[in-house]
Structure 1
Amino acid sequence: MTTIADIIQHLERIAPPVYQEGYDNAGLIVGQASQTCTGVLTCLDATEAVVAEAREKGCNLIVAHHPIVFKGLKRLTGRNYVERVVIEAIRHEIAIYAIHTNLDNVYARGVNSAIAERLGLTNTHILAPQAALKQLSIYVSPGEADELKARLNEAAAAKQQPGTAVRLATIGAGEAGALVKLEVTFHRAQQGSVLRTLSAFGELDYQLHSLEQPSAQIGAGLVGELPEPLSESDFLAHLKSAMAVHCIRHTPLLDQPVQRVALCGGAGGFLLPQAIGSGAQFFITGDYKYHEFFDADGHLVIADIGHFESEQFTIPLLANILKEKFGNFAVHCTEVVTNPVRYYV
């Protein structure tokens, strides 16, 4: 039987929790991982209507992009929508799992890659890469070296992200009192696995530090190119159609062809300097405030398509990720539009 833990394990191979931002609360928020999973409902927001929909569809796991709980709850009295959602989920034994900025920050099959695919962008890469590598150095006796080397190599390679390099080196016997020095370089997502492996060999002294080398697979935003340049008005029409948006708020057009496009799903205004530095003609994101639009300053066009609108295709993205792994398992996309913003046109 497929358990909720099985579902979570697969999702975390795609977007390890260690890649979430410090303010985030991604992970299992409500429910027990040991439960047998009867079905999955994917959504952006776990609202009361989504919990009711999960019940109707026979799903006891909701996989949401946004965490329903960001801060600690001191009471569960139903006084606001967050508390009511948690109460309803617990009452009906429905688990809620959030996969948020960790999914934002992965290149392969992440939120931003889904947007780039909708827009037909090519030659894409992370807009603001993060340093994601760590290095462990340890001295062991020659008799332990071979086994530890093999075990560390296995631990470091587990869930390895595409394009990353795992290196393990043995540096001379006779150093540090006839000990053998082992070094392993790994993605920070594997740190827990590496340290658990190390602990099985008793109390060993080691050094662990972060490397400054940025990863091509981990970071915020995305930049890519259109197959052919478009006029600004044609690109806006393409953007509106491809992303199924009602309207686009944007800064003044600059009367230049559009080929390079930077983007960030959700609230990505913090990436404007990187978008400008990338040479993009457009920067697509959501949640821009009035005064922040001035920061475009003639460098590019900021296009705010809305927070929900920029991330709405994360819903089928998550469903497809799960369907590929669990082919005979019920995975549904929510039919509830959870966008709290309405447009009068």
Structure 2
Amino acid sequence: MNKQLLHSDVFQLIEKWAPKKLAYEWDNVGLQVGSYNKVVKKIMITLDVLESVVDEAIREGVNLIIAHHPLLFKSLKQLNADTPQGRIISKLIQHDITVYAAHTNLDIANGGVNDILCNLLGIKDTSVLVESESKNLYKIAVYVPKTHTKIVQDVLSENGAGHIGNYSHCSFQTEGKRAFKPLEGTNPHIGTRHELAHVDEVRIETIVKEENLNDAISKMIEKHPYEEPAYDIFPLKNKGEKMGVGRIGSLASSTTLIDLCEHVKNRTEMNHVRVTGDLEKTVKKVAVLGGSGEKYIHLAKRKGADVYITGDMSFHVAQDAWAAGLAVIDAGHYIEKVMKEATKSYLDTMLKDKATIEVVTSKMNTDPFQFI
């Protein structure tokens, strides 16, 4: 019988994609309301946790909501059920619904909101727009009998080690002779107790990102033939993969600003966008930052963007971008709704052996603006 899945198990899957440590310090990600230890029945993905979304979850029999925008940003001083937020929290508690949020960590993560937008819009060869950190790298050096070299290298690669760019199984291997004497209480794979053994071995050296280090080591130990594998871990000063919000890349071919506006509307299923700049201007290099990105107009310009796609652009900042020659497509904060289908797809894949757990997306429109 399959072990029942708990809410905490789903949280771990989300954090495998978007680790909580990526979130900005001011953000409030993770568990918002509810429990780590309830059994998952049905999951709903939403951009926002509004009362209409909670009512929808109640109707649909959902007991776990995964949201992008946190329900709780500031500390609660009282829980007043006569306020909108109080009603939402009261309903969640009354109906035993847990809420979990992945916000700026999902913006920053590989394959997160900004990558989803770039893929949807056909923006290629992307790099990070606003760099916040680089991933730490480590070198693993493990000593393996020659007969098990491929087995150990494969398991390291399967768990994230030895990946450089579009190459896998990257390692440096040297051969040597290992000496050891098994003592009382040992059960050696090679050699005899109390006798000195000499074995032909290979030292495999490979690089791994910090988030994959523990998995790579534990799985390597499982597959290693020795009771006590010999291995070393070295922290590296090499700069790892750059992390941060936003992306900048290029369209497959140049287009006009007006045509790009229509493309953004069609691909993101938005009814409108706001735009600054010459509508007939030719654009190719595009910066993207889902949500509110007005702080980074000058960075987008310095990095060579012809146009910046973001949301929540205020009047004077839009003027500044216009004066600097940077076209801006303000598709609104609601453009981040693209995370719903992508998160559902990810969880469907990760939970494919849990066929009894249904993942749905909220059908509620949580955009507060209407255009007349």
Q: TM-score under structure 2 normalisation? A: 0.72
Residues 1:213 and 2:219 are matched in the alignment: no
CA distance in 1, matches of 2:318, 2:39: 48
Q: Tell me, yes or no, if the aligned pair for 2:29 and 2:70 is still in contact at 8 Å.
A: yes
The answer to whether structure 1 residue 238 and structure 2 residue 276 are counterparts is: no
Report the AA paired with residue 86 of structure 1: I
Task: Provide structure 1 residue ranges, at least 5 long, that are not aligned to the other structure.
Answer: 138-144, 147-153, 168-183, 195-207
Report the equivalent of 2:250: 225
Q: Which residue of 1 aligns with 2:131?
A: 129
- Between the aligned partners of 2:209 and 2:330, the Cα distance in structure 1 is 33
SS of 2:73's partner is: coil
For the 8 Å contact 1:240–1:246, the answer to whether it is kept is: yes
Of 57, 60, 64, the match for 2:60: 57
Distance 2:328 2:31 in 1: 35
1:247–1:95 distance in 2 versus 1, CA, 3 Å: same
* Percent of pairs with identical residues: 28
Contact (CA 8 Å) 1:133, 1:215: kept in 2 or not? yes
1:305-316 alignment runs, 5 A limit: 305-308=331-334, 310-316=335-341
Deviation of 1:53 (Å)? 1.2
State the Cα distance separating 1:193 from its structure 2 match: 9.7
Deviates more, 1:235-244 or 1:57-66: 235-244
Q: Residue 319 in 1 paired to residue 344 in 2?
A: yes
Inter-CA distance 69–192: structure 2 relative to 1 (3 Å threshold): farther
Aligned counterparts of 2:236 and 2:33: Cα–Cα separation in 1? 33
Show the counterpart of 2:113.
Answer: 111
Which of 68, 91, 94 is matched with 1:91 structurally?
94
Residues 66 and 100 of structure 2 are in contact (CA less than 8 Å); yes or no, is this contact kept in structure 1? yes
3-state SS in 2 of match to 1:227: strand
Q: Distance in 2 between matches of 1:87 and 1:160?
A: 46
Please, which of 308, 317, 326 is the counterpart of residue 300 of structure 1? Answer: 326
Q: Secondary structure at the match of 2:241?
A: strand
Residues 79-122 of structure 1: per-residue CA shift (max 9 Å, x gap): 43222211111111000000100000012x20011111221111
Root mean square deviation of aligned Cα: 3.7
Offset of 1:163 from its aligned partner? 5.6
Match of 2:241, as an amino acid?
A: S
1:100 is matched with which residue: 98, 103, 124? 103
User: Unaligned stretches of 5+ in structure 2?
Assistant: 144-154, 171-205, 217-233
- CA separation in 2, counterparts of 1:32 and 1:69? 15
User: Which residue of the partner structure matches residue 281 of structure 1?
Assistant: 306
Q: How many residues align?
A: 314
Counterparts in 2 of 1:59 and 1:288: CA distance versus 1, 3 Å: same
Q: What is the TM-score of this pair, normalised by structure 1?
A: 0.78
Tell me how far apart the structure 1 counterparts of residues 107 and 161 of structure 2 sit (CA, whole Å).
Answer: 18
How far apart are the structure 1 equivalents of 2:238 and 2:88?
41
Distance 2:109 2:256 in 1: 30
Matched AA of 2:318: F
Find the counterpart in structure 2 of residue 247 from structure 1: 272
The 1:185/1:118 distance shift into structure 2, 3 A limit, reads closer
Q: C-alpha distance in 1, partners of 2:75/2:53?
A: 22
- Contact in 1 for aligned 2:277/2:325 (Cα 8 Å): no
Q: Of the two, which has the highest radius of gyration?
A: 2
**Per-residue Cα deviation, 1:252-278 (whole angstroms, up to 9, x for no partner):** 227531111111000011222221122
Distance 2:332 2:118 in 1: 16
For the residue of structure 1 that corresponds to 2:87, the secondary structure is helix
Paired position in structure 1 for 2:200: none
Task: Work out whether residues 230 and 257 of structure 1, in 8 Å CA contact, stay in contact via their aligned partners in 2.
Answer: yes
